[in-house]
Structure 1
Amino acid sequence: MKKYELLIAEKPTSAKKIAEALAEGKVSQEKNKKVTYFAFTHNGKEIVIASCLGHLYGLVEKEKNGWKYPTFSYEWKPIYEVQKRASQTKDFIDTLKKLAKNADDFTVCTDFDDEGTVLGLNAIRFACGQKDAHRMKFSTLTKKDLIASYQNKMKHMDWGQANAGLTRHELDWIYGINNSRALTLALKTAGMFKILSTGRVQGPALKIIVDKDREINKFKAETFWQIKLQGEVDKEPVLAWHEEGKFWEKQKAETIFKKTQGKKAIVSSVKKKEMTVLPPFPFDLTTLQTEAYRCFGISPKETMSITQGLYLNGYISYPRSSSNKLPVALDYKKIIQDLGKQSDYKALSAELLKKKMLKPNEGPKVDPAHPAVHATGELPKKMAEREAKVYDLIARRTLATFADPAVNELMKAEIDVNGENFIARGSVTKVSGWYTFYGAYAKEKDEELPPMNEGTEIKNPKIEQLEDQTKPPKRYTPASIIKELEKRNLGTKSTRSSIVDTLYQRQYVHEKSIEATKLGVAAIETLEKYCPEIIDERLTRHFEEETELIREEKRKPEEIIEEAKKELTKILANFKKHEKEIGQGLLLATKETRTELSAIAPCPLCKKGDLQIRYSPRFKSNFIGCSAYPNCKATFGLPQGLPKPTKNFCKECNFPEVLIIRQGKRPFNYCINKQCKLKEEWLKKQQEKQSKVKATSVDSEE
């Protein structure tokens, strides 16, 4: 059999894309077990491309010693040996091993970031038995970029990136397993077993959220007063506020209020000025996640998943970028021309192509591996609703970046009422510029004032004195906490959303406006008291900075790992001294959190207990029961899916509703009342849908 070059991709989808881009003739699709790989020729050279399925190898404890800690003995093992759900990865490893035997050259073409490099290197080392390989570097899966990437591939792995990635994996493992074991065993000594986790970034992230809760709880509202003027000019409304804004003394506000009652309101001055608003920067991942949450309510984790799919289909560039720059090498004109082939962007593209020079409004952030996230111009095929929304956001942002600045005219009118000065402000768009390109996603809204001049009288003036209170700081959202973590240099662009997701899964936080649960608060309070180093963000940031020095080849991985082991040994020795106290501190909070997160509403039958979500080991399903059991035997069945409490009640029967979350489907509110009329209608519709599906299935078979 002829020798060939073996290319290793990150996922089957990208392997197929790369094969189709590089092949000069027909691509031969082959199979080993259940794994598909591809063979083709490029410049007369035989090439085979196979893929991983994400990470094929993971770090595991080398010498099993129960739940003892600290443990620093670990090794890389096939992931299927330690995770039951990863059993399918065995076929991928076996396929790489088989194909490696007849390969005389190896190239890694996984995503060009730490994670992609680590999984590609592990495949080369452990499955293929090689110490090094060529490395392709690309930011889009378009034919042009992939051909250029292959022709200009690096002779060796990027060892700075590889060692940084490997070090980060090792740091995460030794911190994660040891701290999580310590917390879990502390709780066990208090009489309860529940997996509690914390890690290098997870602990500091939770502390940031708890600190915000404390800030809100300590907040004391202050009363203030405002004086508002409403009137008309040429039948157009005018709204103005007293120039002092907030009055902290009621008597002063009342004096001015009385002074202005029934008096004429005359415009004393009008000032106008123009303000230029520059186009937005291209998207980096964090900004994209924040915008997707603002515009659509899509969580950062889901945005990550959606953009990964769009990237694999070739519609956008690599999403895990921290850059907001678009290098000239991208060929701006072609991207804009190609976007113009889509009806939604045809007019916008034509407008940009009239410009003598195309230049994006770039930001300061740089990513050494990838440009900012942008649309490639590839024509999308069918997309799901949320995919289409995120794609449209990215496409419009890409175009808006090249557009002209917008110009707003700001108007300030000062209005005299018996010697008291009121101010009305307005804003109107004079030049729409990039607003047109960004469409509904542009935040700017006109608040136009009617034409006024010095001496204009405000008709029908009405003066009001309003009482209000200062508001507490806002809680973090899933998007704003990621922004905060980035600001503090905690975690990486790829891991921050999963860290926040873990906090939800471990029941440390809940709600969309993120609030720490009793368990989350207790975990932080207990660790602050007995072991503050575990949640010290300075230590986490220190190792993040040290890892970057490894990337720049200024530090050696073994030095950083050794330093981390010494720090952790000290921390855990102190933890062990207080294990019992820590366990007691966590026990009550764990029980209270379980009740807090499963409680739905007061029981409508006995009126004494609370309805709670429970799990039946016998039937392996969730149901709702009353906390007053066995005195109250109220139970309610639930459909398949993950049930979550809501504060909603059924409009028909006033019974509580729960949110049912199903994988790959939209969540829905479910009334727990068996006799509810709306529920009967819902069940009937579901049965009709199933009947149609079955009928379609039978027709297709015939």
Structure 2
Amino acid sequence: MAYELIICEKPSAAQKIAQALADTKPDTIKNKTVSYFELEHKGKKIVIACAAGHLFNLMEAEKNGWKYPVFEMKWEPSFKVSKASEFSKKFYDTLVKLSKAATDFTIATDYDVEGEVIGYNILNFICKQKDGKRMKYSTLTKDELIDSYEHAAKTINWGLANAGVTRHKLDWMYGINLSRALTLAVKTTGSFKILSSGRVQGPALKILYDREREIQAFKPVPYWEIALNTASPKELEALHDEDKFWDEKKASKTYTDIKNEKIVVVQDLKKSLSNQQPPNPFDLTSLQIEAYKVFKYTPSRTLQIAQELYLAGLISYPRTSSQQLPESIGYKKILIQLSKTKNYKESAEFLLKKSTLKPNNGKKTDPAHPAIYPTGEHSNIGDQKLKVYDLIVKRFLATFAEPAVRETSTINLLVKKEPFTAKGTRTKEQGWFSLYKPYVLLEEKEMPVLNKGDKLTIKKLSLDKKETQPPKRYTEASLVKELEKRNLGTKATRASIIENLYQRNYLDEKSINVTELGSKTVEVLEKYSPLILDEKLTRHFEKEMEAIEEHKLKPETVLDEAKKTLIKILEHFKKHEKKIGEELLGATVSTREKATNIGLCPICKKGKLSIRKGKFGLFIACDRYPECKTTFGLPKNALTKPTEKLCETCHYPIVQIIRKSRQPQELCINPNCLSKKVPELKAGTKCPKCGSPLLVRKSFYGSFIGCSNYPKCRYMQKMKKEDKD
């Protein structure tokens, strides 16, 4: 029987759409382990199936060894391109099977560039269709999904699809050619280390390197401050009106003239009020910055959590550039839903009493999606998700509230003839602050009640030497903001660009520090091939892709221009290949040693522990092998970094474990460390193998239950929910 095939991006989205459209309960059918849904909507038979993100990747049209330049490419199923994508074959096979009997095709992937590319490739290569209908939605709520289906566009968004495919091809050309050029340059020296660069990666690294160079070149300049504190009950902190004394003699003379004074006189008092407007609704970048500020979540972690909240139907689509909430989302309806939740009841009911609901929209827009907002739906979610959800809900509520009013008190003081000023700011009217707590991070400084002519007792008078400070290093959040400001990368890719720089050992630490390899890579490219680092060129291609999206430019025009530019870059690079390799080699070795050296071997006390690659993945081993056969296991799918710290319990080295989109974790490498053991699980809970008490232990992978008789008995089991409580 013929049917319409609706293609989604992820399993959870397919399930939500099936539940929304079904006249009755949809049938869940399995093809191997992949679920798809059969249903009827107003009597029409529909099958809903999903991808698992991208099912196709670009690869060389013909493999011809590690050479460059290479420009001929083709789309291939992801499972043929990468071992890491082998899981996607079952989704691919399911769509192949279901497409054969389908007569109509509708794309319901995320409505953005990447979603359009996913849908376009499935239509083209699996369904063998030239076009299909397109659902557009920003939330996975029932009403919006039904409306999206019943008002689906007759064609896919060809502007988005062409721009997305062009971006993939452009990034592939730059990535494969520049990475091969760098790697083969090092290979000319007889060494081998895979290095990478890309269309956005190079300019991003250059931004960080330039900041590092500013910091290194910075020369602190000394200055002096004269400060005073008054005694209780009229306590004040005041600073001399000169603020910074750049002349030590002048500062010293001023201080000497007044250091024995006991009284300070109030000369004048002023109060001023200022309105603090409600915040704009969140776009992705501002959400990532705020989540880093209040929770220290990395941008990639915040994006992952937001995506999970969206797929659970709790918030709108997070990959948006918009700071605007249109009336069409239904402000009142969302507030009514939120008022049913204990945590938001009071705030939502307060806003519902207002005669008009008007958000403080920002300037940034996105043609595909509004700003991020809660749908009002309810669900039980974990702690980290709950934090981000709470932040999004309270930002949504706050944007409808009144301005907050802040009062600044300025008190002018005199010690003999020397002027001092004390300032303090407090919140006079809470306004939107009351709806955004605890995320309002402003200092409240209450000033004592004083009158002109009041005399206060000086408790302390000090002359302090200070120095000007260098520019701050970027954090991941501030770098995301900087990349957006410079129009480098996209809202969805900026966080992953930073992760990639870390994985390639170009960066280190939370306050981003460029490694020796990162610095040397920039220096070499500046010297021999500066176009690779040119952000103007990257911005130029970003604008051209926007023009493709708006049907003002053809993809072929942009790709031809990019190819010609890349040929020039690579020709110049090849002329200096050996010199580039020689200059990169030293930094490669040094950075690798720093990245892999764990510390002194705790067993033989002579060798050094380092991270090595074996048949089954990474592990830690002593460099005195075979004399010392000490080894320690490491988790898979995680980056392990030395910390130069020792465990306080057993004095073994501590390493930092970084998993994608998770908070970094510091752990002792000793599997038998007492810090990883806690008291017995429950009275009478015995090991089923040897009868010894069971303990809760910690490993690189988290907590688990293990036998206290380890290593003689190696029994272990996963933690159940009741064990964790």
Partner of 2:696: 685
1:232-243 mapped onto 2 (5 Å cutoff): 232=231, 235-243=233-241
One-letter code aligned to 1:369: A
1:341-352 mapped onto 2 (5 Å cutoff): 341-352=340-351
Structure-2 change in CA distance of 1:605 and 1:245 (3 Å): farther
TM-score in terms of structure 2 length: 0.91
Which of 577, 586, 607 is residue 579 of structure 1 equivalent to?
A: 577
1:213 aligns with 2:212: yes
Structure-2 change in CA distance of 1:632 and 1:525 (3 Å): farther
Partner of 1:558: 556
Partner of 1:659: 656
Structure-2 change in CA distance of 1:240 and 1:310 (3 Å): same
C-alpha deviation, 1:486, in angstroms: 0.4
Partner of 1:471: 469
Which of 401, 405, 413 is residue 403 of structure 1 equivalent to?
A: 401
Structure-2 change in CA distance of 1:414 and 1:666 (3 Å): closer
1:317-336 mapped onto 2 (5 Å cutoff): 317-336=316-335
* Structure-2 separation of matches of 1:78 and 1:676: 45
C-alpha deviation, 1:457, in angstroms: 1.5
Partner of 1:340: 339
1:232-311 mapped onto 2 (5 Å cutoff): 232=231, 235-263=233-261, 264-311=263-310
* Structure-1 separation of matches of 2:275 and 2:374: 26
* Structure-2 separation of matches of 1:153 and 1:201: 35
SS in 2 for 1:651: coil
One-letter code aligned to 2:593: T
Structure-2 change in CA distance of 1:635 and 1:406 (3 Å): same
* Structure-1 separation of matches of 2:357 and 2:622: 64
* Structure-1 separation of matches of 2:673 and 2:11: 47
Structure-2 change in CA distance of 1:337 and 1:413 (3 Å): same
C-alpha deviation, 1:638, in angstroms: 4.6
Unaligned runs of 5+ in 2: 680-693, 708-715
1:650 aligns with 2:647: yes
Partner of 2:682: none
Contact 2:298 2:477 in 1 (8 A): yes
C-alpha deviation, 1:58, in angstroms: 1.0
1:168-207 mapped onto 2 (5 Å cutoff): 168-207=167-206
C-alpha deviation, 1:676, in angstroms: 5.9
Contact 1:405 1:433 in 2 (8 A): yes
Contact 1:266 1:458 in 2 (8 A): yes
C-alpha deviation, 1:600, in angstroms: 3.9
TM-score in terms of structure 1 length: 0.94
* Structure-2 separation of matches of 1:553 and 1:218: 47
Partner of 2:410: 412
1:522-566 C-alpha deviation (Å, 9 max, x unpaired): 111001111111111111110000000011111111000000000
C-alpha deviation, 1:618, in angstroms: 6.0
Structure-2 change in CA distance of 1:619 and 1:315 (3 Å): closer
Deviates more, 1:92-101 or 1:236-245: 92-101
Deviates more, 1:468-477 or 1:616-625: 616-625
Deviates more, 1:80-89 or 1:502-511: 80-89
Structure-2 change in CA distance of 1:143 and 1:695 (3 Å): closer
Which of 535, 538, 561 is residue 537 of structure 1 equivalent to?
A: 535
Partner of 1:14: 13
1:105-164 C-alpha deviation (Å, 9 max, x unpaired): 111000000000000011011100100011111100001111111111111111111111
1:391 aligns with 2:389: yes
Structure-2 change in CA distance of 1:314 and 1:453 (3 Å): same
Structure-2 change in CA distance of 1:43 and 1:631 (3 Å): closer
C-alpha deviation, 1:684, in angstroms: 5.0
Identity of aligned residues (%): 49
C-alpha deviation, 1:658, in angstroms: 2.0
1:670 aligns with 2:667: yes
Deviates more, 1:79-88 or 1:218-227: 79-88
* Structure-2 separation of matches of 1:694 and 1:625: 30
Deviates more, 1:437-446 or 1:686-695: 686-695
One-letter code aligned to 2:363: P
Unaligned runs of 5+ in 1: none
C-alpha deviation, 1:225, in angstroms: 0.4
SS in 2 for 1:440: coil
C-alpha deviation, 1:604, in angstroms: 7.3
Deviates more, 1:59-68 or 1:128-137: 59-68
SS in 2 for 1:205: helix
C-alpha deviation, 1:440, in angstroms: 1.2
* Structure-1 separation of matches of 2:466 and 2:662: 43
C-alpha deviation, 1:681, in angstroms: 5.6
* Structure-1 separation of matches of 2:492 and 2:665: 29
Structure-2 change in CA distance of 1:565 and 1:668 (3 Å): closer
1:30-49 C-alpha deviation (Å, 9 max, x unpaired): 22232211111112211111
Partner of 1:114: 113
* Structure-1 separation of matches of 2:390 and 2:300: 18
One-letter code aligned to 1:637: F
* Structure-1 separation of matches of 2:599 and 2:451: 59
Report which of the two has the higher share of helix.
1
C-alpha deviation, 1:354, in angstroms: 1.0
1:649-680 C-alpha deviation (Å, 9 max, x unpaired): 33345554223456798754333568865456
One-letter code aligned to 2:632: G
* Structure-1 separation of matches of 2:587 and 2:661: 33
One-letter code aligned to 2:274: M
Structure-2 change in CA distance of 1:612 and 1:203 (3 Å): farther
Contact 2:408 2:425 in 1 (8 A): yes
Structure-2 change in CA distance of 1:675 and 1:77 (3 Å): closer
One-letter code aligned to 1:530: Y
One-letter code aligned to 1:385: D
Deviates more, 1:300-309 or 1:82-91: 82-91
Partner of 1:374: 373
1:392-414 C-alpha deviation (Å, 9 max, x unpaired): 11111111111111001110000
Partner of 1:39: 38
One-letter code aligned to 1:685: V
SS in 2 for 1:463: strand
Structure-2 change in CA distance of 1:695 and 1:605 (3 Å): closer
Contact 2:289 2:477 in 1 (8 A): yes
C-alpha deviation, 1:483, in angstroms: 0.6
